[in-house]
Amino acid sequence: MRITPAALLLAMMSGLLSFGVNASSPTQAAEADLTFESSAQETQYRTLIDEFRCPKCQNANLAGSDAPIAQDLKHKTYELVKEGQSNDQIRQYMITRYGDFISYKPPIKSSTWLLWFAPPLTLFLALMVWFLRVRRRTITTAPLSSEETWRLNQLLNDESQPSAKQELRDDR
């Protein structure tokens, strides 16, 4: 297999990305027996503590942190879920107290446009550049003239002549 620069870069980037994901992936901390009225509430609770970030630990979510404040915020999330509050209400509760910092899912607003739209934009630009280059390459491959066709046929038919092959190689 030929290693192209693009493939190499892609491999490195995916390596970096998966490393980053692993670093922040939740390791479910043991939780005191929490009871939920429905599995939907439990799912809501798990989703939220996965999404919220521990304000003390800089780079761990609530689910993966044993810091006292993370325990308290998990308990607060539990209480709010039990009260029947929606995801957005609970998110708002956390953001008014700890800011956008609390969420690993930053809101889309003017200060976060770069964060949200730079990756798809870069991908789009890269695809455009790639597309244009491929198209240009196709166009420059002009059809063979009658003279060239005649010569090509001659070279292909006359396989016994090593000098002809040699010539072909030199022409490349």
Partner 1 sequence: MSRMKRKQFLWLLPLVIFMGLAVVLWTRLGVDPKIVPQATTDQILPTFNLLNLTNGQLQTNASLPTKPFILNVWGSWCPTCAIEQPFLLKMQQQGVVLVGVNYKDQPADAVAYLTQRGNPFVLNLQDSTGDLGIDLGVTGAPESFVIDQDHRIRMHILGEINDEVWRTQLKPCLDRLIYKGAGQCV
CB of 166 to partner 1, least distance (A): 21
CB of 54 to partner 1, least distance (A): 8
- Residue number with CB closer to partner 1 (92 or 154): 92
- Phi and psi torsions of 171, nearest 5°: -75, -20
CB of 125 to partner 1, least distance (A): 16
Question: C-alpha distances in angstroms, 128 versus 73, 113, 118, 120, 125?
Answer: 45, 21, 15, 12, 5
Footprint of partner 1 on this chain (CB under 8 A)? 3-5, 8-9, 12, 16, 55-56, 58-59, 67-69, 72-73, 76, 95-99, 101-102
CB of 114 to partner 1, least distance (A): 18
- Residue number with CB closer to partner 1 (35 or 96): 96
69: Cβ contacts below 8 Å, ≥ 6 apart: 54, 55, 56
